[in-house]
Structure 1
Amino acid sequence: MRVVSISVSGLEQAVEKGFFDWIADQNADVICVQDHRMRVYEIEDRNLIPEGYEAYFIDGELDEHGGVGIYTRHFPKAIMYGFASEQADREGRFIQADFDRVSVASVLAPCALGREDELLGDENDLTVLDHKDEFMDAFALHMQKTLRKRRQFIFCANLQTAQHVTDASPVYHQLDVSGFLPHERAFLDRLFDEMGAIDAFREINRQSNQFTWWPEWDGGERKNVGLRADYQMLTPGIRKTIQDGWIDDATRFSDHAPLIMDYDIEIGF
């Protein structure tokens, strides 16, 4: 079973850059897309669905919320839109496909980089960083409940945050910006080290400078100024099914690179 996670920063522009041609060469069973920035009906009307795949997407109230989706070659038993968090569900940040032996979810956290203190303008005077933190707290609660279940899960997530020093270029060790703040990193410590979620990529690759995102505003791709902000997170029961995985950093449809993982799991019925 091959699972791809990719944050596209706009699905339509990614397709124009050859996203579907790339998919045709991947032999992927499930492709989790984050940040498509479209209405669901537009995806269907413009037939933004690669040949041989079914498409399941959710959008947010605003296109800027990003939205997430799943392309799959196998019909799921069920689709879950949202995870009972008012904020996340309204903004289209979670979708899950249940297959016979595993569930696969696509997840997108809010981005606060460079906008940490900007007010959202609601009556609570929340900042953009507060907004991201609220999502992370809700997602942590969902993960805590999920990790108690007997069913197995793969969460493909752009969490807009790197965990370890080796997951961020040195410039971020000095900057006080969202994506590598102490409390954000502590959230991932809690998720992986305390709750027991498995960081699939790090199970097979411990090298430094394994980034999935490079800031366009800082010429990050040229300087290798990046973060490993994209994850495939597993429930512990399928830890030993990991066969291979890599970041396709030679491929660019956005400022994120695709994360590809192979598992010894039969997804079909």
Structure 2
Amino acid sequence: MRIVSWNVNGIRACAKKGFADWLARDGAEVVGLQEVRAREEQLPEELCGFEGWHTHWISAEKAGYSGVGLLSRRPPDGVEASLGEDRFDSEGRFQLARFGRLLVANGYFPNGNGPNRDLSRIPYKLDFYQRVFDLLEPARERGEPILVMGDFNTAHKPIDLARPKSNEKTSGFRPEEREELDRWLRNGWTDTFRVFEPGEGHYTWWSQRQGVREKNIGWRIDL
């Protein structure tokens, strides 16, 4: 089964750049989208009824913020979207779908920065990590096949960002954030990308400052 994860940074803008054409030719069977930033009724017409696709959208209460989407060729046996706390559910950050024995979780994990880039959201971010882990770990312990994909908003190891030394106090590479990913691996989870690619220079996010992308000064925060 081919499963794709993509932070689209706004599905309406992404739709104007050929999202539907990409979806038609990619060959994916399941697609998890993060940072959709639209309610279902705001989606462009071409995104509301993909022929041959089953769709499930979760939006934040705040307009134009957060949100996740799951698209699949076969209908899921079920989709859950609640983490059991309104402070998480109100931001529309999580989906858990079942396809037979396989569980597929799609998450848009919070950034630790507050409105003034003051790190005020780190406690919320760490609580979100803990809640998702507590929800999914029992399934792994039972031996159920489970895939967790999405934007984790944390670079795990120094190899996962271009400039680790200068970002040690930056949200996304702080020790307490990285420890959350350590905990997953200690408990038997696998960073599937690193199974296939152990090398440097592989990133999923770049700032919008001029020349950053061209110089590949990036972060691998999407797993």
* TM-score, reference length from structure 2: 0.90
- Give 3-state SS (helix, strand or coil) of 1:70's partner: strand
Distance 2:211 2:92 in 1: 30
1:163 paired residue number:
156
Query: How far 1:179 moved relative to its partner?
Result: 0.9
The residue that corresponds to 2:174 in the other structure is: 181
Report the equivalent of 2:107: 107
Match of 1:77 in 2: 77
CA contact (8 A) 1:173 1:180 kept: no
1:194-233 counterparts in 2 under 5 A?
Answer: 194-217=186-209, 219-231=211-223
Gaps of 5+ in 2: none
Is 1:133 the equivalent of 2:132? Answer: no
Unaligned 5+ segments in structure 1 are 119-126, 232-269
Q: Which of 135-144 and 4-13 deviates more?
A: 135-144
Which of the pair has the greater relative contact order for Cα pairs under 8 Å at 6+ separation? 1
Query: Aligned partners of 2:61 and 2:138: how far apart in 1?
Result: 27
Matched, 1:30 2:34: no
Deviations 1:82-138 (A, max 9, x none): 2324322221111122111312121011123584426xxxxxxxx222322221222
Task: Report the TM-score when normalising by structure 1.
Answer: 0.76
For the Cα contact (< 8 Å) 1:85–1:138, is it kept in 2?
no
Tell me if 1:48 matches 2:47: yes
Partner of 1:86: 86
Cα distance in structure 1, aligned partners of 2:78 and 2:170: 38
Aligned counterparts of 1:65 and 1:148: Cα–Cα separation in 2? 34
CA RMSD of aligned residues (A): 1.9
Query: Does residue 1:117 correspond to 2:109, yes or no?
Result: no
Q: Identity over aligned residues, as a percent? A: 30
Q: Which moved more, 1:56-65 or 1:221-230?
A: 56-65
Q: Is the 8 A contact 1:82 1:93 kept in 2?
A: no
- Judged with a 3 Å threshold, the aligned counterparts in structure 2 of structure 1 residues 47 and 145 are, in CA distance, closer, same or farther, namely same
Whether the 8 Å CA contact 1:87–1:135 is kept in 2: the answer is: no
